[in-house]
Structure formats: structure tokens, C-alpha cells
Chain A
Amino acid sequence: MAHAEAHLDRPGHEDAHAEGQQHPIRLYITVWVWLFILSAGSYMVDLLHFQGLLRWGLVGTLMMLKAGLIVAVFMHVAWERLALTYVILVPPLVLLVFVAIMALEGSYTEWMRLVFM
């Protein structure tokens, strides 16, 4: 976490190059190219008519890879202190519980409709 320590002496520090989140432009371009490749990959899943588990697995994996790159590099979470990182990444995990509850509810409703409609 060398970066975090450099961050600390910011007040009164006049050297602009040591300030804030500065990373080589090259890193951003690499991530950008990867996001292009991953997006093209998800588009190909649809073009090639992949179905079933293969389709959902690929769409889900490519989605998480893209999200991870954006959050870690573009939003600089990789360089933040863990005290902030946990505040950002842990609460959204609760949404997975919500997804599970509503998936149960959704399939129950569908079953009721199939039986009684």
C-alpha cells in the first residue's frame, strides 16, 4: 500500500505529481482494450446462439470480469484502503439474499398460475 502512504502527506504538499490517484495511461488503455474484448465475447455468445448453461455461464462470467475491471481500476478501488473497500463491496452482497428470496417467490407464483389459471 505504498500509494496509500503517499496519499497521506497531501495537505500542504505542492508537488502535483504525487497527488491523488495517478496511474500510467497505459494501464487504462489495457483495461479499455480488455473491456472491448470481453464485451465482444458477450455479444458473440448471442450471435453464435449458445444456449442453456453454457450461455448463462459465459454471460455471467464475462459480466463479472467487466464489472471487476471497472470497479478495481477505473474506480480505483484496488488502491483504496480496505476500510473503504469493504464498505463498498460487502453491502451489495446482501442483494444476493434478496435475489434468492424473490427467485423462490417467482417460481412459486409461476407454479400457482400453471395450476390455477
Chain B
Amino acid sequence: MSETTTNRPQPTLEPGFRGAVRDWASDQRSFKTASWGKAMMWIFLVSDTFVFGSFLIGYMTARMSTTTPWPNPSEVFALEIAGAHVPLLLIAIMTFVLITSSGTMAMAVNFAYARDKVKTTVLLLITALFGATFVGMQAFEWTKLIEEGVRPWGNPFGAEQFGASFFMITGFHGTHVTIGVIFLLIMARKVWRGDFDTGRAGFFTARKGRYEMIEIMGLYWHFVDLVWVFIFAFFYLW
């Protein structure tokens, strides 16, 4: 970008609803302040919202239409700790683990824009560690339920559709977390190596690496946490 272009006064953007209409009617790019990378991640996340929305709606329909009582999640997911019967304990811990990972991710984005390589790398690795912990606890939960006889086609506690809904919804969410952990590790390596300082191109693309990629990665990670908020409420607490 030449000096003259940089120094040219930028058009001021109108705020509010009128501004939104102007952005969309400008015959140019609609997202004036968001990069295409960010806009495309958001469009992917909106489509993913529909995928999870459809799963949860399918679960709602199955649960509403069955005449057999639905298994009580509070009891099904209870744990025996030192003789004490604690309902939903593992799920509560998983929720706190995922929220904490979202917090460390948000801070990683902050330090990435401040170009603090060490702190960003460490925070990304901590986020990945929490994510892996979450998947590990989910694997434990699946094992426990399978040992108790829960199957996609039936279970000893009540309505048969319980197993299919549970494995489908939590399995799809766990897959998202796993992919996120892999992405976090790749991004941590890139930050550590200084790819975003030197603008080194990525493996699949000729585009230069930028610290904004950490924010875009963060959007995905927070989305995984967001989906868990809905699963926690609708599947475990309802």
C-alpha cells in the first residue's frame, strides 16, 4: 500500500441500523471492518448452528413423542464419590473445564494482537489441554454408560430413543472439540515459530499468516463452548 493511499482520509462509517443498510447497499464488500477470513468463519459457524439445532430439535421431537418415560438424566449421569451419591457431577466439571478453556482462549487472542509470542503459545496450549481433558471426561462418561447397557437402540432406564440422542449429540460435539484441540496445537506451533511475525504462508494456502488467525480460531473454540451451553441445558438439565 503506497503512502498516498495510507494518508488519504478514510470514509467514516455510519453507526446503527442505517449504517448496516448502507454497508449492505454499498455495492462493495458488505463487511466493512471484518476480514473475509473472519466473515467466512462466522458463516461456517452459522451453518454449524443449524446442524446442532437440527440435532437438538430431533431430540426434542423424540422425547416429546415417546410414551415411555424419558430416563432421568440427573440419575443416569450421577456418580458415586466415596459412598455419596452426587447427581450430574461429571457434567458440571466438564462444563467448568470448557468455560475455563474459553477464558484462556479469549486471553490468547488478546496477547496475539499484542504480539506476545510466549504468552499466546502458553495460553493456546493450556486451552488445548482443557479441551483434551473435556474429551477425556466424555470418553469416561461414554464408557460408563455403555457398561451400564445404554445403546443407541435401547437402555435399561426408560425410553429407547435416549441412547441414540445421547450418542449422536454428545458425539458430534466431542468431535468438534477434538478438531478444535488439533487446530489449537497447530496454531500454537505457528505462533511459537513466529509464522505470524514473518507472514509465513500456511500449508494449504499461499496467503500470509496473520495474528488475526488466532482470533478466527478463537471464534471456533468459543462456538464449541456455546454449543455445550445448549446441550447442558436441553439434554442434561431439562
User: Taking the complex as formed, is B212 at the interface, i.e. its CB lies under 8 A from any CB of chain A?
Assistant: yes
CB-nearest residue of chain A to B92: A43
In the complex, number of A-B residue pairs with CB atoms less than 8 Å apart: 192
**In chain A, residues 47-69, which have Cβ atoms closer than 8 Å to a Cβ of chain B?**
47, 55-56, 59-60, 62-63, 66-67
Interface residues on chain A, size class: 35 or more
Interface SS of chain B: helix
Interface-side segment among B101-109, B145-153, B183-191: B101-109
Size of chain B's interface in residues, with CB distance under 8 A? 71
Query: Which of B60, B67, B88, B106 is close to A103, meaning CB atoms less than 8 Å apart?
Result: B60
Contacting residues, chain B, for A56 (C-beta < 8 A) = 238
CA–CA, A39 and B30, complex, Å: 37
Query: Which of B17, B115, B222 is close to A16, meaning CB atoms less than 8 Å apart?
Result: B115
CA–CA, A92 and B45, complex, Å: 11
Contact between B6 and A67, CB atoms less than 8 A apart: no
Contact between A42 and B60, CB atoms less than 8 A apart: no
Minimum C-beta distance from A77 to chain B (A): 9
Minimum C-beta distance from B12 to chain A (A): 7
Interface SS of chain A: helix
Interface residues, chain B, CB within 8 Å of chain A?
A: 1, 5-6, 10, 12-13, 15-17, 19-20, 23-24, 30-34, 39, 42-43, 45-46, 49-50, 53-54, 57-58, 60-67, 74, 87-88, 92, 95-96, 99-100, 102-103, 105-107, 109-110, 113-115, 211-212, 215, 218-219, 222-223, 225-226, 229-230, 232-233, 236-238
Interface residues, chain A, CB within 8 Å of chain B?
A: 1, 4-5, 7-9, 11-12, 16-17, 19-23, 25, 28-29, 31-32, 35-36, 39, 42-43, 45-47, 55-56, 59-60, 62-63, 66-67, 70-71, 73-76, 80-88, 91-92, 95, 98-99, 102-103, 105-107, 109-110, 113-114, 117
Given A36-B96, A84-B31, A87-B42, 4 extra CB contacts under 8 A: A20-B215, A36-B99, A71-B226, A113-B66
